């Protein structure tokens, strides 16, 4: 219960930050993708199921406010969460390299898929421009945001896990 | 053994791959359904609007307040200097004003003569505040703090500072989404004010950073369009009201087919620094019963 509540707060805060405050600190009109950080972090920390559910909720929120039709971002982020969940077996909290690598890869593939489905199919063929001006800057900026956001998520998750362990012991 | 494992005393859980499959199907169905209709948008927009929009409004207000305070501190010194300069300007402007008033009198007479009273002033407008921007980097859209409860509806035109911002593409009870004309997925039917030649104005992500938009298919057989010409929404657009200023022609080229022209337009609106917008609550008259 506490976990669901905390995760909901995380999603809400990240969405609000991304739709309001981040716009004013954007470099060259590019904002980092906090939803990807959230989805993939919970994916590799907690496993496939939690990753895909959180991805679905994050995506649906973007869909409702900014999508032309429902389900596109939800589907994309859901698979991001699920695939990141596959790495939960080799995840150690002390290691920062794997999370960063996973988040960057997620954001790059997210950008590439968005480009292919939303721009390439409308015959916007200048791939190098879009890669250099949107996808790559977003990935870099997201990496910087990861350095701030990820430790927080990790800390909160550890607290939650400790809390859950205590509760489980109480019931035995 | 069934993959849906249920041991005694353990909570019933679905394996993640089945959940993934179920949600994938759900998403696909949602996409297919909402591509053509907006059955689910209404309840979802309402629920999400009640939860998220109050926060966005709060953040918007707080951000505006903080920005104002910091600006005040910076500007006090500049203001003193400016005050001096403005006093001089006032004297100059008073003189100009008397001249202009004479011109205006003349203009009113001439307008009455040709019965040109279809200006912006005749449209009903509602002011709204921008409380959110697109979370992605691909398109450009805004969330404003008014919705169906305030009488707004999809396809209403939005202006700011005398120029066209875009149109409403989704509404909730207390919020609406504006797709701006600089967004890559936006096309507006427009015309040059001087010669009334039609063209298509489309947003472009590549040009967005240069703060310009592109136009194409301008049939200008008399070669009258020049750089600096005013571009307004056309009479034949089915979403946009006629004669709203879009911007000024910035560059112009003849296409390879030698029949049409294309080029760039500098929008009249500064999309980087938008705070408040005006929504025109009159909808373009359309022919029903297709």
Domains and CATH numbers, chain A: 2-88+95-171 (1.10.1760)
pLDDT recorded at residue A74: 93
Residue of B nearest to A23 (CA): B133
pLDDT recorded at residue A40: 94
Torsion of CA B98, B99, B101, B102, to 10 degrees: 120
C-alpha to C-alpha distance for B126 and A12, rounded to whole angstroms: 29
pLDDT recorded at residue B9: 57
Q: Are residues B82 and B216 in the same domain?
A: no
- Residue B4 maps to a domain: no
Of the pLDDT bands very low, low, confident and very high (cuts 50, 70, 90), residue B90 is confident
Mean of the per-residue pLDDT values of chain A? 89
C-alpha to C-alpha distance for B220 and A19, rounded to whole angstroms: 42
Do residues A29 and B208 lie in contact, with contact meaning Cβ atoms separated by under 8 Å? yes
Of the pLDDT bands very low, low, confident and very high (cuts 50, 70, 90), residue A25 is confident
C-alpha to C-alpha distance for B237 and B188, rounded to whole angstroms: 7
Q: Are residues B198 and B274 in the same domain?
A: yes
Q: Are residues B129 and B113 in the same domain?
A: no
Q: Are residues B148 and B252 in the same domain?
A: yes
pLDDT in tens, B208-224: 878 889 999 898 878 88
pTM value is 0.77
Q: Are residues B110 and B138 in the same domain?
A: no
Q: Which of residues 171-200 of B touch A (CB under 8 A)?
A: 177, 184-185
- Residue B6 maps to a domain: no
pLDDT recorded at residue A18: 86
Of the pLDDT bands very low, low, confident and very high (cuts 50, 70, 90), residue A159 is very high
SS3 B244: coil
pLDDT in tens, A86-125: 999 998 888 888 999 999 999 999 999 999 998 888 888 8
Picking from B48, B59, B138, the nearest residue to A20 by CB comes out as: B59
Determine, for residues B206 and A126 on separate chains, whether the beta-carbon distance falls below 8 Å.
yes
Q: Are residues B106 and B174 in the same domain?
A: no
B137 touches chain A (CB under 8 A): yes
Q: Which domain holds residue B239?
A: 123-282
Based on the structure, what is the number of domains in chain B? 2
Percentage of residues of chain B with pLDDT beyond 70: 90
SS3 A158: helix
Determine, for residues B184 and A119 on separate chains, whether the beta-carbon distance falls below 8 Å.
yes
Q: Which of residues 26-85 of A touch B (CB under 8 A)?
A: 28-31, 33, 35, 47-49, 52-53, 56, 61-62, 64-66, 68-72, 74-75, 78-79, 82, 85
Average pLDDT over residues A73-84: 94
Of the pLDDT bands very low, low, confident and very high (cuts 50, 70, 90), residue B116 is very low
């Amino acid at each position: 219960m506490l976990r669901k509540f905390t995760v909901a707060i995380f999603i809400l805060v990240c969405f609000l930050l991304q739709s309001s405050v981040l716009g004013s600190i954007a470099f060259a009109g590019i904002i980092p993708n906090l939803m990807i950080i959230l989805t993939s972090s919970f994916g590799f920390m907690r496993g496939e199921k939690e990753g895909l559910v959180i991805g679905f909720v994050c995506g649906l929120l973007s869909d409702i406010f900014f999508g032309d039709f429902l389900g596109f971002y939800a589907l994309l982020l859901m698979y991001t969460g699920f695939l990141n969940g596959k790495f939960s077996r080799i995840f150690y909290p002390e290691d920062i390299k794997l999370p960063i690598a996973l988040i960057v890869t997620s954001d790059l593939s997210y950008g590439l898929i968005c480009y292919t489905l939303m721009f390439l199919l409308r015959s916007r063929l200048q791939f190098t421009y879009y890669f250099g001006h949107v996808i790559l800057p977003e990935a870099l900026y997201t990496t910087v945001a990861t350095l701030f956001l990820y430790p927080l998520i990790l800390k909160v998750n550890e607290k939650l896990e400790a809390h859950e362990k205590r509760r489980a012991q109480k019931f035995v | 053994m069934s993959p849906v494992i249920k041991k005694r005393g353990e909570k019933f859980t679905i394996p993640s791959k089945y959940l993934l499959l179920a949600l994938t199907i759900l998403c696909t169905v949602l996409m297919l359904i909402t591509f053509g209709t907006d059955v689910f948008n209404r309840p979802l927009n309402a629920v999400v609007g009640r939860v998220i929009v109050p926060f966005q409004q709060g953040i918007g207000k707080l951000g505006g307040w903080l920005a104002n305070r910091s600006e005040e501190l910076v500007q006090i010194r500049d203001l003193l200097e400016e005050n001096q300069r403005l006093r001089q300007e006032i004297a100059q402007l008073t003189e100009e004003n008397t001249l202009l008033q004479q011109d205006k009198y003349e203009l009113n007479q001439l307008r009455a003569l040709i019965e040109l009273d279809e200006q912006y002033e005749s449209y009903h407008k509602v002011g709204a505040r921008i409380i959110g921007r697109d979370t992605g980097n691909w398109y450009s859209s805004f969330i404003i703090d008014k919705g169906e409860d305030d009488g707004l509806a999809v396809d209403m035109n939005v202006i700011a500072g005398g120029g066209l911002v875009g149109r409403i593409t989704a509404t909730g009870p207390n919020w609406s989404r504006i797709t701006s004309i600089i967004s890559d997925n936006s096309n507006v039917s427009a015309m040059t004010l001087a010669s009334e030649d039609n063209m298509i104005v489309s947003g472009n992500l590549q040009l967005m950073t240069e703060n310009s938009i592109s136009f194409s298919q301008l049939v200008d057989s008399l070669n009258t369009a020049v750089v600096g010409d005013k571009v307004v929404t056309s009479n034949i657009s089915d979403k946009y009201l006629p004669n709203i200023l879009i911007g000024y022609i910035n560059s112009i080229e003849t296409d390879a087919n030698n029949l049409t022209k294309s080029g760039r337009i500098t929008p009249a609106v500064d999309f980087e620094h938008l705070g408040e917008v005006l929504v025109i609550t009159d909808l373009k008259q359309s022919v029903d019963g297709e």
